[in-house]
Amino acid sequence: MLNRRVLPLVVSGCLGLLTCLQGAEPAEGETVRTSGGQSDDWTNRSYKPSDLWAYRPLRRPTPPATAPHPIDAFILAKHPRGLPTAPPADRATLIRRLTFDLTGLPPTPAAIIHYRLDRRPDAYRRLVERLLASPRYGEQWARHWLDVVRYADSSGFANDFLRPNAWRYRDYVIRAFNTDKPYDRFVLEQIAGDELKPDDPEHQVAVGFLRMGPWEHTGMSVARVTRQLFLDDVTNSVGQVFLGHVLRCARCHDHKFDPVPTRDYYSIQAVFATTQFAEVDAEFLPSENTRGFNAHRKYHRLRADANGRMLAGLPARRVTPNDFGRHRLGRKWRVLFNWAADSYRPIALSVYNGPGTPSRRVFSRQKPVPLPARDRPRHSSVLDGGDVFSPGDPVTPGVISATGLPATIPTSFGGRRTALARWITHPDNPLTARVIVNRIWQGHFGRGLAAHANNFGASGKPPTHPLLLDWLASEFTAHGLSIKSLHRLIVSSWAYRRSSTHPDPTTLARLDPDHTSYCVFRPRRLAAEEIRDAMLAVSGELNPKPGGLPARPDMNLEAALQPRMIMGTFAPSYVPDPLPEQRNRRTIYALKLRGQRDPFLATFNQPGPDSSCERRDTSNVTPQVFALFNSRESSDRSLALAARLLEETDSDHQAIDLAFQLTFGRHPEAAEQAAALAHWKNSIRLQAQPPAKPQTMPTTITRRANEENTGEVFTFTETLFEYRDYVPDLQPHQVDARTRGLAQLCLVLFNANEFLYVH
Amino acid sequence: MSRRTFLHDLYGLGASLGSVALTSMLAETAAAAPRPHHANAPAKHCIFLYMEGGPSHLDTFDPKPKLGQLHLKEFQRGGEEQSAMSSGKRYYVKSPFTFRQAGDSGAWMNSRFQQLAHVADEICFYRGLQGESVNHPTANYHVNTGNRFGGDPALGAWVNMGLGTENSDLPGFVVLPELSFPQGGPANWSNGFLPNRYQGTALRPQGSPLLDITPPAAITGPQQRKNLDFLATLNRRHAKRHPQHDELEARMQNYELAFRMQTRVPGLVDLGQETRATHSLYGIGQPRTDNLGRRCLLARKLVEEGVRFVQLYASTWDSHDYIARAHGSLIDSVDRPIAGLITDLRQRGLLDDTLIVWMGEFGRTPDNGIRGGIKYGRDHNPNAMAVWLAGGGVRAGHTIGATDDIGAHAVEVVRPMQDLHVTLLRLLGLDDERLRFFHAGRFKQLSQFGGKVIQELIA
């Protein structure tokens, strides 16, 4: 159906990936040996040598002797002649940059003073070590990983229900970063944990990676098609996440740009042909947080009981729209609530090997089915045109053949994924180390050496510093695949420690228009989660408790109570946890529903979890102003900060000084101190009126909709149990005008560019 | 040091807080002042009616009697035409609808378009457009941004850069989505690599049009003004220390724009001031048409207020099954609101200034796959689709181009998406070859690499 017109090649400057573009052909050049295309033309076609960089064996180039730090030496080698470099950043700037990068939180005033006064020659190194050792480090870097793997607590699409145990995978990733799990272990466990150590809960949880994509199965779905959607999803996901290859492009035809025949696509897919969904028993580990269970379960039971009573009260013979509508809703919720109770049980969202009947279980736990004796796996095939009903040539489990690294993958039920994971983590695999090293680099500099972290093929941008990328990858491989060592290496370079102000911007714009020289540090806006977390940290409200059941923070009330349909009826409403310490946890622990995103986070560019996000957008839009300047959450944080400032200081002057230290990481200048004081005074006057009664939270909500069987309107009232016990954060009526006035000052500080940007 | 000296240091040469804020507002206004058109053009605004999901041309404006003879005949599609969606055993499906010719021009339309028939002579129907993508998000991106892979500026962003805004209290590019956003999300109205102020602003259809547009009660107008002024002070000092970081300036401007929107938007979206006759013209208050009717009326108000580009989404036309029921009820839901919009703009003398575009991301196939029984639906078809234009400068009362006898492919006046884009720009007085922006080493434009105006669509 696609037309054959030859399209000009679209080179998109930022996030656009060039995938599956029809008609274009690689230019003359080099041929590549693969498992073979669907036509001889494709098999024998040649590629531009520069497009094949990612398949070249990993080199270990010797750093030029032009700079003490190898990273700086490699960067210097490509430095535009005549372009000055920015001076090193000052210590205050550096500690803020480093603390946000490594932990996602601002440095405390004490930490800043300590670092600024630390005259030991290795003060910076000590700072790096302290931050890498902090549990906050894993929370920050797991966030980057979860963007790529599309973590969410619900299934998405038509079945956007809770995945009761998904949170254990999220915590596994955080632990992996905190314990500096060697990257090969990290890969092996996520792809084949259940095969490697079936009795180890950690391994069973880790392999939940394979189930991170959105997934649906409805009465309308064809089971085989659904199954194929999973296989396509997991194939592409493994390709993007670990190998930097958008394999989806080779689903219907040989890859248009890359030497990836459709045969490779289905060979990789065949690795997963025996992989089946299961929620398996997996005891909780001592390192997992199970403390919140009782508090959560109380409300879960209240909801389930109320639903049971509602159902029991319906007449046996249904007549009115309410009878029909409430019956449909009650039955659906009964199933949902039953399943959600698995949240409190030692179960892992996992997989097992077997023939499996295509899974139809959407609303309840599915257990592994024992392997039938003497059963043999069905063979896999290329699917012509990507159509599950058009099997073509048979394939055996395999890998990306263009890498030149072969793999022996068994055709039995078990062991396929282990073999694939061992191929991915093989030291001679040219893709794996480059891909992860590039991601970590991007986490520090905002952009990878190769700009498209998920696409190392011809349509992604080639690395700006290929020798540096190779050296980093080989260094990473040589030093135990330690991510923390990689951080140490990167942040100790001068490239990372430069000022964000360049001495000669005109020359900079002329000689480095694409910002690839690293001669000046590129400032970044805080990510959505960092903004919220930093506000909580500064206000003193952040509960640093790690892990456990997803927290339900406050959300804009209109967005929280907006009707949301799943499977032909209403989804239960989003209700925040009742207590401040339950709500005010780090954002990575917040419940993440695919179908109901927190508007504050979405506005600040938290990516949707349906597709892998290789790099976040940081666009600047007006609704961000409303979210940060007008929202109840911002007011709450500001008031809490004001109360903290008055509690911890003895004079107005000190309070303002501390406010600047906490939010900006520096003391106010005299003029700022005066202006802030004036603003505070003015605000005290404006806040003199006793505040209005605090907003009372709704304890019920009534929904209306057309009922399916009758076509008439039915209504349903849901009780929002948590709101009955809801304890708000500090509210204006609980404090005096002086505090309320100071809160206005704090609100402005939270909105200031200096708070939101890392320089 | 005296207080006066402090102020002097802070704000420079005797300026007061108020006057500094005013200066920044003036700067914003200057930046947003209308720019000269590239060419003489009738249309100054655009209302883009996006029929999300891919409306079937075969069941709306492009009837194919031949499908009656082929109905339920099976065939096998193969070879080069084969894609995932269209592979395997297929059968032809006739349209379940009746058609008639409307207006003096005799434009063909589904008989269920009862109101649109009255304004048929205002419309230029186009049957020659072809897209490239068979999937919703990429096809949406292609229509909206010219780049199937997203990330580029949307048409509305380009138009605003080209024409500037007439109203600095409102964004120049407003999107009126359904409760759920279209596939591909807000990237469909992104500013891409253009400055942030050209980004589309989505107004929610229920509750506050923009979340948190109203500050908490404790933050009165005077308090918020003081907060904004103090914020501007801090931000200016900060920007002075980071003169090379231009994002800071954009963010500062956003606060002033937000403050103005906060006072203007709630009144604007209130349709209570409109007469009962206007409400009924748009079908407001009628269950089927209220949703789109309200947004069509709001689109008119926005255009009156000087908003350059308004895009409305009406979903979902993705009728793979039960097309008779689904398309039938969708036609009923859009017919009166859209006809009302055209009529209202005409009555108010605004239609000549306003370009109206009606289209989806692709058309649909004359045939369907076997999916567990026959349900009379249609799959995605980027090779033939229904598009119509009305208002400023279009060749109203004509049907341009044609599809083959089963509606599978466009065969006359066949043009790619970029040609429609340059045509829409031309109708708005903009020249795609001149409306360019330097980014990542080259000048970029909506058409990506240039396009040809479809002269047949222009009066």
Give A305's contacts (C-beta < 8 A, 6+ positions apart): none
Residue from B196, B241, B226, B240 nearest B32 by CA: B196
Contacts for A201-205: CB closer than 8 Å, 24+ residues apart? A201/A282, A201/A283, A201/A284, A201/A285, A201/A346, A201/A348, A202/A172, A202/A285, A204/A280, A204/A282, A204/A348, A204/A350, A205/A168, A205/A169, A205/A172, A205/A282, A205/A348, A205/A349, A205/A350
**CA dist., res. A666 & res. A182, Å (int):** 37
Q: What is the mean pLDDT of residues A238-259?
A: 90
For A635-665, the pLDDT digits (tens) are 999 999 999 999 999 999 999 999 999 999 9
- Chain A residues in contact with B82 by the CB 8 A cut-off are 384-385
Question: Measured between CB atoms, does B246 come within 8 Å of chain A?
Answer: no
- Give the DSSP letter string of A265-331: HHHHHHHTTTEEEEEEE-PPPTTS--TTHHHHHHHHHHHHHHHHHHHHTS-SS--SHHHHHHHHHHH
A513–B441: do the CB atoms touch at under 8 Å? yes
pLDDT band for position A56 (cuts 50, 70, 90): very high
Q: Which of A3, A387, A753 sits opposite B238 (nearest CB)?
A: A753
For B330-353, the pLDDT digits (tens) are 899 999 999 999 999 999 999 999
Q: Which of A384, A674, A691 sits opposite B6 (nearest CB)?
A: A674
- Contact (CB, 8 A) for B39 and B426: yes
- Interface size A-B, in CB pairs within 8 Å, comes to 232
- Chain A residues in contact with B149 by the CB 8 A cut-off are 10, 12, 16-19
Identify the residue with better confidence: A350 or B133: A350
Question: Measured between CB atoms, does B443 come within 8 Å of chain A?
Answer: no
Give B166's contacts (C-beta < 8 A, 6+ positions apart): B34, B44, B306, B307, B308
Q: Is the pLDDT of residue A177 over 50?
A: yes
Those of residues 294-333 in B touching chain A at CB distance below 8 A are 321
pLDDT at A358: 52
Q: Which helix (H) or strand (E) holds A676?
A: helix A670-686
A757–B248: do the CB atoms touch at under 8 Å? yes
Cβ atoms within 10 Å of B91's Cβ, excluding its own: 16
Q: A378 is written with which tokens?
A: 């069905």
pLDDT at B360: 97
Please give the DSSP secondary-structure letter assigned to residue B243.
Answer: T
Give A41's contacts (C-beta < 8 A, 6+ positions apart): none
**CA dist., res. A452 & res. A443, Å (int):** 13
Those of residues 181-200 in B touching chain A at CB distance below 8 A are 185, 190-193, 196, 199
- Contact (CB, 8 A) for A481 and A472: no
For B301-330, the pLDDT digits (tens) are 999 999 999 999 998 788 877 788 779 888
Identify the residue with better confidence: A248 or A746: A746
Share of chain A above pLDDT 90, in %: 76
Q: Which helix (H) or strand (E) holds B28?
A: helix B17-32
- Give the DSSP letter string of A479-533: TTT-HHHHHHHHHTSHHHHB-SS-S-HHHHHHH-TTS-S-SSPPPEEPPHHHHHH
pLDDT at A3: 34
Q: Is the pLDDT of residue B180 over 80?
A: no
* E-assigned strand segments in B299-431: 309-314, 354-359, 363-364, 367-369, 380-381, 387-391, 398-400, 402-403, 410-412, 415-416
**CA dist., res. A154 & res. A521, Å (int):** 38
Mean pLDDT, chain B, rounded, equals 84
- Contact (CB, 8 A) for A547 and A171: yes
Smallest CA–CA distance, residue B259 to chain A, in Å, is 9
Identify the residue with better confidence: B82 or B351: B351
Q: Is the pLDDT of residue B83 over 70?
A: no
CA dihedral A85, A86, A89, A90 (to 10 degrees): 120
Instruction: List the alpha helices (DSSP H) in B270-352.
Output: 276-281, 290-304, 323-347
Pairing of strands A565-566, A569-570: antiparallel
Give the lowest-confidence range in A344-353, A514-523, B24-33, B148-157.
B24-33
pLDDT at B2: 37
Q: In what order do the strands lie in the sheet with B367-369?
A: B74-77, B88-92, B367-369
Those of residues 57-96 in B touching chain A at CB distance below 8 A are 80-88
For B395-442, the pLDDT digits (tens) are 999 999 999 999 999 999 999 999 999 999 999 999 999 999 875 445
pLDDT at A448: 96
Mean pLDDT, chain A, rounded, equals 90
* CB neighbour class for A711 (10 Å; exposed up to 12, middle 13-18, buried from 19): exposed
Q: Is the pLDDT of residue B12 over 50?
A: no
Kindly list the distances between the CA atom of residue A394 and the CA atoms of A380, A381, A452, B122, B355, in Å, as whole numbers in the listed order: 6, 4, 33, 58, 54
Q: Is the pLDDT of residue B443 over 80?
A: no
**CA dist., res. A563 & res. A704, Å (int):** 9
pLDDT at B30: 35
**CA dist., res. B313 & res. B182, Å (int):** 8
Q: Is the pLDDT of residue B9 over 50?
A: no
For A704-739, the pLDDT digits (tens) are 765 656 656 789 999 999 999 999 999 999 999 999
Q: Is the pLDDT of residue A258 over 50?
A: yes
Question: Measured between CB atoms, does B411 come within 8 Å of chain A?
Answer: no
B193–A14: do the CB atoms touch at under 8 Å? yes
Q: What is the mean pLDDT of residues B140-166?
A: 88
For B97-106, the pLDDT digits (tens) are 999 999 999 9
Give the lowest-confidence range in A176-180, B44-48, B178-182.
B178-182
Count Cβ neighbours within 10 Å for each residue of A351-378 and write b for 16 or more, e otherwise: bbbbebebbeebeebbebeeeeeeeebe
Q: Nearest-CA residue of chain A relative to B141?
A: A16
Q: What is the mean pLDDT of residues A180-194?
A: 98
For A527-556, the pLDDT digits (tens) are 999 999 999 999 999 999 999 999 999 999
Q: Is the pLDDT of residue A398 over 90?
A: yes
Q: Is the pLDDT of residue B371 over 60?
A: no
Residue B316: cis peptide before it, omega within 30 degrees of 0: yes
B84–A629: do the CB atoms touch at under 8 Å? no
Q: What is the mean pLDDT of residues A410-432?
A: 97
**CA dist., res. B155 & res. B191, Å (int):** 9
Q: A209 is written with which tokens?
A: 């990676």
Q: What is the mean pLDDT of residues B10-21?
A: 30
Q: Nearest-CA residue of chain A relative to B215?
A: A630
pLDDT band for position A594 (cuts 50, 70, 90): confident
Give A96's contacts (C-beta < 8 A, 6+ positions apart): A106, A107, A112, A665, A758, A759
pLDDT at B167: 81
- Contact (CB, 8 A) for A144 and A443: yes
Smallest CA–CA distance, residue A387 to chain B, in Å, is 5
**CA dist., res. B165 & res. A556, Å (int):** 31
Q: Is the pLDDT of residue B15 over 80?
A: no
For A84-107, the pLDDT digits (tens) are 999 999 999 999 999 999 999 999
pLDDT at B29: 36
Q: What is the mean pLDDT of residues A5-12?
A: 28
For B195-224, the pLDDT digits (tens) are 767 888 888 777 788 889 999 988 999 999
Q: Nearest-CA residue of chain A relative to B450?
A: A8
Half-sphere exposure of B437 toward its Cβ, with a 13 Å CA cutoff?
21
**CA dist., res. A604 & res. B230, Å (int):** 23
Q: Nearest-CA residue of chain A relative to B408?
A: A1
- Chain A residues in contact with B216 by the CB 8 A cut-off are 630, 632, 635
Q: What is the 3-state secondary structure (H, E, C) of A19-32?
A: CCCCCCCCCCCEEC
pLDDT band for position A621 (cuts 50, 70, 90): confident
pLDDT band for position A703 (cuts 50, 70, 90): confident
A252–B227: do the CB atoms touch at under 8 Å? no
Residue from A323, A527, A366, A372 nearest A443 by CA: A527
B440–A514: do the CB atoms touch at under 8 Å? yes
Identify the residue with better confidence: B149 or A672: A672
Q: Which of A625, A682, A703 to mutate to test the interface with B (most CBs of B within 10 A)?
A: A625
Residue B35 amino acid letter: R
pLDDT band for position A478 (cuts 50, 70, 90): very high
Residue B452 amino acid letter: K
Q: Is the pLDDT of residue A422 over 90?
A: yes
**CA dist., res. A20 & res. A253, Å (int):** 9
A622–B10: do the CB atoms touch at under 8 Å? no
A686–B208: do the CB atoms touch at under 8 Å? no
The backbone torsions φ and ψ at residue A78, rounded to the nearest 5 degrees and listed phi first, read -110, 15
pLDDT band for position A157 (cuts 50, 70, 90): low
Q: B2 is written with which tokens?
A: 């005296």
**CA dist., res. A721 & res. A337, Å (int):** 15
Q: What is the 3-state secondary structure (H, E, C) of A572-623?
A: CCCCCCCCHHHHCECHHHECCECCECCHHHHHCCCCCCCCCCCCCCCCCCHH
Q: Is the pLDDT of residue A233 over 80?
A: yes
Q: Is the pLDDT of residue B234 over 90?
A: yes
Q: Nearest-CA residue of chain A relative to B203?
A: A623
Highest mean pLDDT pick, A243-252, A266-275, A612-621: A266-275
Q: A285 is written with which tokens?
A: 């580990």
Q: Is the pLDDT of residue B31 over 60?
A: no
**CA dist., res. B223 & res. B225, Å (int):** 5
Q: Nearest-CA residue of chain A relative to B202?
A: A623
pLDDT band for position B246 (cuts 50, 70, 90): confident
- Contact (CB, 8 A) for A671 and B6: yes
For A320-336, the pLDDT digits (tens) are 889 988 998 999 899 99
Q: Is the pLDDT of residue A410 over 80?
A: yes
Pairing of strands B45-51, B309-314: parallel
**CA dist., res. A706 & res. A27, Å (int):** 58
Q: What is the mean pLDDT of residues A257-268?
A: 95
pLDDT at B119: 98
Q: Which of B141, B211, B319 to mutate to test the interface with A (most CBs of A within 10 A)?
A: B211
Angle at A370 between CA A365 and CA A376, to 5 degrees: 125
Q: Which of A8, A12, A621 sits opposite B149 (nearest CB)?
A: A12
pLDDT at A28: 66
Cβ atoms within 10 Å of A90's Cβ, excluding its own: 11
